[in-house]
Structure 1
Amino acid sequence: MDKETDDMIQEFVAEGGDFRDWRPSWNISPTDQIPIFLESKKKDAPSVRRVELARWSLVPSWSKELKTKVPTFNARAETAAEKPMFKASVASRRAIVPAIGYYEWQTDPATKKKTPYFIHAPEGELLGFAGLYAWWADPALDRDDPARWHLTATILTSDAVQTLEHIHDRNPVPLPRELWDHWVDPTVVGDQALVDEAVRAALPVAADLQFDRVGPVSGDGPELIQPLEHDDADQGGTEHRG
């Protein structure tokens, strides 16, 4: 774990749990484990903030199995509050997904060739994407079996900002740090208005993101985010993603 991530965990987790077994990865796929920041509250008890590992693909509590018929690693911000898959999580189970950046693939309309880009903050700062989480209980296991419970999560996406739309028509919702506390507060009842507020607040952060063309995204390691030599299509990128 790098010092910046450790410092952010210390800042966010004021009380309660502390997650120290997480290790960085530069190639995370849906259903892999990702760290999330969340805040939970039990009746008549104070809220507790903690960092947990979650399965990156949300599975609602009512699902009969630990998979869904449609992809749920992303949730469209425009409809998340009304979709049965995400509605309960929008209401009270919201999270921050920390990352140093993300990959997106630009598709050439003529050749269908996909070119990977690493999209990141200007100085490599840690980003906090607006996320949702849900607990799924395996009905095949006893209620007191700790393996019964699975924490799952998704990342909200919105229409891509102008500076990124040539790469892809959607981008994750990167929340400004001053909105994190409000977003994860379980006493704030979430609805579409809250999601819309998050998307609006994320626009300046998303517009400030920079992008680098990178090589094939296979294996794992910091070399995956090293930029290739820029061409004319990379205007606006930097010489520097996670």
Structure 2
Amino acid sequence: MCGRFALDDKVNTAITEFVEQTGRRPDEWSPDWEARWNIAPTENVAVLIDSPKTRDLRFEQARWSLVPPWSDSLKLKFPTFNARTEGIANKSTWAKPVKSTRAIVLASGYYEWTGEKGSKQPWWISPADGLIGFAGLYSWWRDQSKADDDPDRWVLTTTILTCPTIGHLADIHDRNPVTLPQEMWEHWLDPTIVGDQALVDEAVDAHAGEARGLTFHEVAPFKVGDDGPELTARVRGAE
């Protein structure tokens, strides 16, 4: 699973360069993400999406916990910050976004915990260089309590796909967030491709290769509300 992650402000330059390379940069383009090191579910995260109407790649902030359009409330009775890939195309919450509203959720790295409750050890998992692009889904949720001309009436929400763990990450957690190589981002985002279980499985297969480049180390325990790059620092003396 993935319940905490971080994204530094280098993403602004990295994503600008990526979008310019694709030749699909929107007219208004000014990524302004501020570095955060302890992002939790329901907080805002940075996502890359492909606009079905304009076919621009858009860098947006989204609420991390997908809310289907049919929901009466932004708060659901079940967690939706992660979505299991197994059989996902047949699940009512996920089937529609799998078809056409897929996202890349951007990260510098993420945290997992091992050990027993009360003495859990956090680990920082990250690539040697560059960004992580998690395979995600997104949905626009309409707040019916707000007027039609209220700019906050639409809320962009997102989730991160997870799959059974692979290789060297197996001792840390039994599931991994699905990480995609950058050369697959546009393919995953393309709204003209009708997503199905085969596309999701393709992403999981790509993750198996991408995850081999992830490294991990122990970090000091931290609390809700803690922030800063020191959260990712290796515990002194840890191998």
- Same fold judged by TM-score > 0.5? yes
Name the structure 2 match of 1:118: 124
Runs of 4+ in 1 over 6 A off after TM superposition: none
Percent of pairs identical after alignment? 48
Alignment pair present for 1:155 and 2:160: yes
1:165-212 CA-to-partner distances (Å, cap 9, x unmatched) read 111101111101111010000101001110000000110111221111
Unaligned runs of 5+ in 2: 1-7
Contact 2:12/2:32, CA 8 A, preserved across alignment: no
Q: Given residue 78 of structure 1, which amino acid in structure 2 is its aligned partner?
A: E
The correspondence of residues 57-206 of structure 1 with structure 2, limited to 5 A, is 57-108=65-116, 113-121=119-127, 123-206=128-211
Name the structure 1 match of 2:18: 11
Q: Given residue 27 of structure 1, which amino acid in structure 2 is its aligned partner?
A: N
State the Cα distance separating 1:112 from its structure 2 match: 6.3
State the Cα distance separating 1:70 from its structure 2 match: 0.8
Contact 1:158/1:173, CA 8 A, preserved across alignment: yes
Tell me how many residue pairs correspond in the alignment. Answer: 226
Judged with a 3 Å threshold, the aligned counterparts in structure 2 of structure 1 residues 105 and 79 are, in CA distance, closer, same or farther, namely same
**Distance in 2 (alpha carbons) for counterparts of 1:5 and 1:163:** 30
Name the structure 1 match of 2:47: 36
**Distance in 1 (alpha carbons) for counterparts of 2:153 and 2:11:** 33
Q: Given residue 46 of structure 2, which amino acid in structure 1 is its aligned partner?
A: P
Q: Given residue 125 of structure 2, which amino acid in structure 1 is its aligned partner?
A: I
Unaligned runs of 5+ in 1: 235-242
CA RMSD of aligned residues (A): 1.7
**Distance in 2 (alpha carbons) for counterparts of 1:5 and 1:118:** 22
**Distance in 2 (alpha carbons) for counterparts of 1:19 and 1:200:** 33
**Distance in 1 (alpha carbons) for counterparts of 2:30 and 2:89:** 29
Judged with a 3 Å threshold, the aligned counterparts in structure 2 of structure 1 residues 70 and 87 are, in CA distance, closer, same or farther, namely same
State the Cα distance separating 1:11 from its structure 2 match: 1.9
Contact 1:54/1:153, CA 8 A, preserved across alignment: yes
TM-score normalised by structure 2 residue count: 0.89
TM-score normalised by structure 1 residue count: 0.88
